[in-house]
Amino acid sequence: MSALSQIDATLLALLPVVHQQQNAYLEEHGVHYQMLWTHSVTPSQPTAPDNLAALPVGQDPATVSGLPALMRSRMRIDTYGKPDGWMMTLEASVDGTVWRKQIDCGVRPEWSGEWHIDATQ
């Protein structure tokens, strides 16, 4: 199984948990939560998240529970609208190339995409 396929398998189990947590946060705060990158550097191998304490400005603490202790990719969550939706972005380094995947969890399914090479590298 390729590295990106392994990440997708982990994501398949994690995404329903994140949806539940986002719904609970939305109910309590009236907005979805954001999460900065789980890792300060794009991982090239399974690595423990080192950036979970970082919070977006003006947000109550919220961290995705259930994250694997070691992750093959880093992850962040961005929000749009109030409370239209949120976007999960994954990023992994495979053989020196940074790959990115976005998953829209709101009203913009066209913003979702499969793994692609990050054009900013």
pLDDT along the chain (121 residues), means of 10: 90 92 90 92 95 82 80 94 88 95 89 85 61
The pLDDT of residue 40 is 96
Continuous H helices in 30-107: none
Please tell me the pTM assigned to this model.
0.89
**Predicted local confidence at residue 48, as pLDDT:** 96
Distance of alpha carbon 31 from alpha carbon 78, whole angstroms: 12
Predicted local distance difference test score (pLDDT) of residue 63: 65
**Alpha-carbon dihedral 101, 25, 33, 85, rounded to 10 degrees:** 60
pLDDT of residue 7: 94
Rounded distance between C-alpha atoms, residue 49 and residue 73, angstroms: 9
Question: What pLDDT score was predicted for residue 72?
Answer: 95
Q: How far apart are the first and last CA of the chain?
A: 25
Residue 6: the pLDDT is 92
